[in-house]
Structure 1
């Protein structure tokens, strides 16, 4: 994300307006096919798109079966963003600040074995192996519309289940008001944490009622496969009505607290990133408007911008959580 932290004079690169690398790769492949007289077959619907993806992805990740979600508002008829775009245009600062850094650098991440510690104000603290987390609930496929503050968005078929299933299992105490999420911070496998761009480890948080909402997802996969490393493998949070930085990746700890957590971006620039970070087109970032967005994969810099929707279009499902709040003050 484009940010000036004020530390060491560091300025983040302006990456939000760069066309994803995968877009250029696909154009080159299409030109090759057209030169060989195969353009008609290559552009003939879904099968051709899958064939083209196979050219770019000789080795698919392990499959992760899923069923369409029955949670209200979870499914959408919007066309999913291509796998190539969603895996090559990412914010994962542990692997670099440029959008293309995670796909270049995340191969160093070791995801097995993996455990997630759940502690704090709960009756049943535990350390879960990834396999045990997967067993808590059957996977459900959900298509969400994630956005980030630079004004870009994607449609991703996530695989996972409502975080509420895990929360209920550990039985939070009555004094637990918030949930903290900790991302792995491993200097040996994450070159980005050697910088001072953020205070590591990356920490995010939700109010308890936000964490318990059925649309808040504990995700293990996308597009029918396990999560790619650059997208937060092997397990992450997805909060579809908030800006993308709220959805912590590569989780190693979930902690229940009474006090509002100090989150990574809020600590780095409190005047730009509030705790709630709900998608709200009426609240401008101090340095740009958030009233419109650009959908990744739809024409790059020349794509027609879309109107940003309040709560990312999930107002019917989540608006009641903030009915008594000033959404401009509590940004």
Structure 2
């Protein structure tokens, strides 16, 4: 198959690219202009060549050429006349720039405060780079109970940034969201749930192993039930802790396709897509064999 590179020059603006005419009618964004941030260029043919990039330092506005390990300061006219392969734009907003400058000024005031607040590092990165960061979202490091999930506490410093009270109040009044967090603690409710889930896994796998041994020792079982092979694999992942506790957590036996009281037995065999089940000492319950048909 023959291919060739199109080398026609495409003009593009460095600033003020207005995309409002191309937005969907239901778009609610108030900012529709974009400024160029980076350009990827390709030198060579369709079959081979070399890539370089031009990137702007948003702090001083200077453009740089990145060519492997070499970085060179260049004039913006060189960028504008480049044979662009990929263009990267970001929303431009003078209001967002002023907002960031105001936050920096507030932080520099170092007003005495009895409180300090924690904000999501992920959201703060949006504030520093997005024209429209949206409401503060501290749920990236909080659980539904308002504490720190036990599995996140050991790296919580990577998830939060400490802000003085005056900065937090300014951001909260401007963007809303939250919730406000001025104390970090491991959630005891989540800890209890984790321990209960671990206990449930141990009980289920121990019961399975015990009943399966009894089933294997039985010469001619009177009744064998079937369950979905897909569910059996989900359950196996659950008891081994490989599914984050989501596959079987909170479901009932009826939801999972296990035989319930009064259910009719189904034949199991190679190609049936079922796992064999053995009768359980608990009425209406069944437990899958380790050996399953696929």
Judge same fold: TM > 0.5, yes or no.
Answer: no
Instruction: Tell me the TM-score normalised to structure 1 length.
Output: 0.21
Rg comparison, structure with higher value: 2
